[in-house]
Amino acid sequence: MSDFALFQVGVELPTWIWFQNVVIPVLGMGLGGFVMFGVYRTVNRFLDRRHERLVAATQAGSSPELEELKDRVEALEDTAFRLQDLEERLDFAERLLTREQRQLGANDRR
């Protein structure tokens, strides 16, 4: 029988060809996906640990510049609070002056 005879209509293929052409590639793809998932998890763990080390190193070694910036931010926040207090006092003083001017204007008209 020639090779061409295998592809003729009515010729049945042996079962090992189906196993070789279908089952083995499917199992190979599944195994490849499983291995790639393991590689992904390993790389992800490595990157997470590296990130944690970098964060811990930056938090542990606080520089004098960082302390100075923290002090400046605190001073600016305090200044903002003081400015708000001054604005409230100014509004109160303006209301008192306006009330006095109205009373003086009402007294002058009488």
Q: How much is the pLDDT for 69?
A: 87
Q: Could you tell me what percent of the chain has a pLDDT over 90?
A: 49
Distance CA 33, CA 79 (A): 60
| Confidence at 51, pLDDT banded by 50, 70, 90 | very high
| Confidence at 9, pLDDT banded by 50, 70, 90 | low
Both tokens of 45, joined, read 């763990």
**Residues 51, 54, 59, CA angle at the centre, nearest 5°?**
125
Q: How much is the pLDDT for 7?
A: 57
* 27, 31, 38, 39, 64 from 34: Cα distances, Å: 10, 5, 6, 9, 49
Say whether pTM exceeds 0.85: no
Q: Per-residue pLDDT tens for 65-84?
A: 878 888 999 999 999 889 99
